[in-house]
Amino acid sequence: MTTDEATDITAITQLIVRERESRDLCFFNRMADCFRQDSLIDISWFKGNGKEFAVASRGMYERGMRAKHRLGPILVNLNGDRAVATLSGIIDIPQIIDGIELTLSSHTLFLYKADKRAGEWGLMSFSAIYRRDELIPTTPGKSISIEAGILEGYRPSYRHLSWSLERTGYEVNNDLPGEDRPETVASALAELFAWAGLPVPD
């Protein structure tokens, strides 16, 4: 790895951390600045460009969905002025159902594209591969009962997330990449790496 490559990888890593931290801390203008005007975000509850994503994230916060993110290490794959990055993440969303405090945790693999223009890196996309999720009472000993069959029809990789979002008024895309459909994972990774002119690791 050359010094320039190491510098670029550091810049991309910091850009991704800045974007996610801005979301958690409600720095929505700073969040928007991380994305290109022609970027594309495609996740469970939103599809559009990065600027619109920041506005919609502010709206989600104001509607009471106060998501926070636990981020794993970021792996950057660099190819000249394009790069793709992946990292494991957990999205924690506090919930109150039937008076019981719970935490909805969605386990994902986050996917980013970034490009370098006029010497500066910016984010071109943000998406996710959904792995699994759970809805757990915050206080030990508490429990809730969800009516039998209410979660039927939701994808196993993001069923609780989908149910929670729909209860809050969001329309959820049921055809996103998820580990319950391995072919969608392979397709998402192939598209990601092809954009950067890189082979999918084997």
Per-residue pLDDT, 148? 75
Return d(Cα 96, Cα 159) in angstroms, integer.
Answer: 17
Instruction: State which residues form the domain around 123.
Output: 3-195
8 Å CB contact between 8 and 121: yes
| Digit-coded pLDDT (tens) for 59-94 | 999 998 999 999 999 999 999 999 999 999 999 999
pLDDT band for 129, please (50, 70, 90 cuts): very high
Residue 131 lies in a domain: yes
Residue 60 lies in a domain: yes
Residue 127 lies in a domain: yes
Distance of CA 69 to the CA centre of its chain: 9
| Digit-coded pLDDT (tens) for 137-189 | 999 898 888 887 889 989 999 999 999 999 889 999 999 999 999 999 999 99
Compute φ and ψ for 67, nearest 5 degrees.
Answer: -70, 145
Q: What is the mean pLDDT of residues 122-131?
A: 98
CATH code at 169?
3.10.450.50
Residue 87 lies in a domain: yes
Q: Considering the entire predicted model, what is its pTM? A: 0.94
How many alpha carbons fall within 13 Å on the CB side of residue 161? 25
Q: What is the mean pLDDT of residues 99-116?
A: 97
Return d(Cα 110, Cα 41) in angstroms, integer.
Answer: 11
In the chain, what's the furthest Cα-to-Cα distance? 57
Residue 114 lies in a domain: yes
Per-residue pLDDT, 1? 86
Residue 168 lies in a domain: yes
41 has a pLDDT exceeding 90: yes
Residue 53 lies in a domain: yes
Number of domains in the chain: 1
52 has a pLDDT exceeding 90: yes
Per-residue pLDDT, 145? 84
Per-residue pLDDT, 171? 93
Residue 200 lies in a domain: no
